[in-house]
Copies of this chain bind each other. A is one copy, B any other.
Amino acid sequence: MPEVQFEVDTDKPADEQPGANPFNRWHPDIPAVIEAEPGERMRLEALDWTGGQIKDDENANDVRDVDLNQVHYLAGPVEVKGAEPGDLLKVEFHDMGPLNDRWEYGFTGTFSQKNGGGFLTDHFPEAAKSIWDIDGYTVSSRHIPDISYQGKIHPGLAGTAPSMELLEEWNKREQELIDKHEADPESIHNHPTGEPDPPVANPPTKDGALMGEMDPDEADAAAEVAARTVPPREHGGNHDIKDLSLGSTIYFPVYVEGAKFGIGDFHASQGDGEITFCGAIEMAAYIDVEFDLVKNGMEKFGVDHPIFEPGNRGPNFDDYVTFNGYSVTEDGEQHYIDPHVAYRRSALDAIEYLKKFGYTGEQALHILGTVPIEGHLSGVVDVPNACTTLALPKGVFEFDISPEALGEPEDRGQIPITDDPLQ
C-alpha cells in the first residue's frame, strides 16, 4: 500500500481536516499541497462530494437544502514534477475503495427542481434520497429492496488545473449561456422551463469557496473567478464516467506547470448518465494512483479532452433488458437528432417497466442512477431521430426482471421524499 498523502477525517468539518484543506474550485493559483515525481505512487483520500451534508437517515430535506456552492470536496492539488503545458498527465488507478470503518454509507438523491433539478426533473420535481450500505464493493439499500450487487467504483471527478486563459474561456462561454437563458429561457435547448427554473450553469461565486492552501488575502479575489466544479471540461473535471474504474489509466491535458491534479466525488456505483444528479452512490473513499507524463502529449495524441484505457474488473453482466428511445418528447414534439430527448424517453420507459415489478417511480429513478446501466448513443444520423438505448443489467436484482417474469407487482416500499419541495 502506498503512503497516504492526502488524509481525511469524515467526522470533522472541511476546515478541521487532519492534513491539507480540501479545495472545491478550479484556479491555476491554488497551491499544490503534494509533490510527486513521475512514476510515483500515492494514496489519496477524499470526503464525499458534499462534505457530509447528506445524512444516513429517513429525511430527504438535506438533499432538498444542499448547499451546492460547497461542492465538490477534492483531494489535492498534486504537483507532478516536470509537467508543462501541452503535456499529458498519465494517471493509473491501482486501487480504490471505501474508507471502511471511517465512513459506512452511500447516498443517492434527487435534487429539488429549485436546486439543480436534473434530467427528469419535470417528472420528479421533489427532493428524495436513498441510503446505501457499502460492504467493500457490495452495495444494497434499505430503501430499495431486492437489489444487491458489486458496483463499478470510480472517482466522479478528476482533473488538472486550468491555465488563466483557459479559465477565462470557460467563464466567458458559460456566462454567454447564462445570459442567453436570461434573455430568452426558451432558447435553451432541453432546459426545463417554468418555475422554479433550475440554473443552466453555475457561475463563479466566493460563497462556499474552498481555495485549499491559498493565501486568504488572495483567495477571495481568486474565488470570484475560479471555475465551479460541477461540469466536466477539457481538463477532465466532473465527468462522472462509470467506466473509469479499477485498473483504468487516464491521460489529462496539462495547462499549468506541475499539472496540479485534484480528485474526489467517489461513487460506489453509477449508471450511465448519472440521471439522478445527486447522484451515484456517493461516498468518501481512497484511491491509489501512479503518475507519469507524456511530454508534448496533447499534440502527440491529437486530443483536446482526456482519453483513457478502462480497467478490466467488471462487474460483468451479460443479461440486460434494454429500452429504446427516440428524439420525440413525451409531448410528441419532434426534435432533430437529439440524444438528450431520446435518452429521457429510454429512461422513462425503464422507469415504467420497473414500476410493473412493484418499485415506485422514485425508487426506479434511483435504480437507474446507481446501478451500472449502459446508455448508448446507438444512432445519431437517421434524421430526424436519434436512437438511444438504456440497458438495465438483470444481475443486480435478486429476482428475475426479465420480460418473461412479469406478473403481479410486489409492494417494495418507498424512499424518503421531502414533503415540501420548494423551501
Indicate if A65 sits at the interface (CB-CB under 8 A).
no
Q: How many residues does chain A have at the interface if contact means C-beta atoms less than 8 Å apart? A: 127
- A177 close to B312 (CB less than 8 A): no
Q: Which of A27-35, A54-62, A196-204, A210-218 contacts B (4 or more CB under 8 A)?
A: A196-204
Q: Which of A5-13, A79-87, A132-140 contacts B (4 or more CB under 8 A)?
A: A132-140
- B94 close to A135 (CB less than 8 A): yes
- A317 close to B320 (CB less than 8 A): no
Contact with B along A121-142 (1 / 0, CB 8 A): 0000000000000111110000
What chain B residues lie within 8 Å of A164 (beta carbons)?
A: none
Q: How far is the CB of A125 from chain B (nearest CB, A)?
A: 15
Partner of A379, one of B202, B274, B312: B274
| Cα distance A239–B2 in the bound complex, in angstroms | 32
Partner of A352, one of B181, B302, B343: B302
- A1 close to B98 (CB less than 8 A): yes
Partner of A316, one of B98, B242, B279, B314: B314
Indicate if A243 sits at the interface (CB-CB under 8 A).
yes
What chain B residues lie within 8 Å of A334 (beta carbons)?
A: 173-174, 176-177, 201
Tallying the copies of this chain within the complex gives 4
- B315 close to A315 (CB less than 8 A): no
Partner of A312, one of B116, B307, B316, B378: B316
What chain B residues lie within 8 Å of A95 (beta carbons)?
A: 135-138
- Which A residues, 316 to 331, have Cβ-Cβ distances below 8 Å to chain B? 316-326, 328
| Cα distance A176–B118 in the bound complex, in angstroms | 28
| Cα distance A139–B337 in the bound complex, in angstroms | 29
6 contacting pairs across A/B (C-beta < 8 A): A97-B97, A232-B379, A236-B324, A240-B379, A314-B316, A340-B386
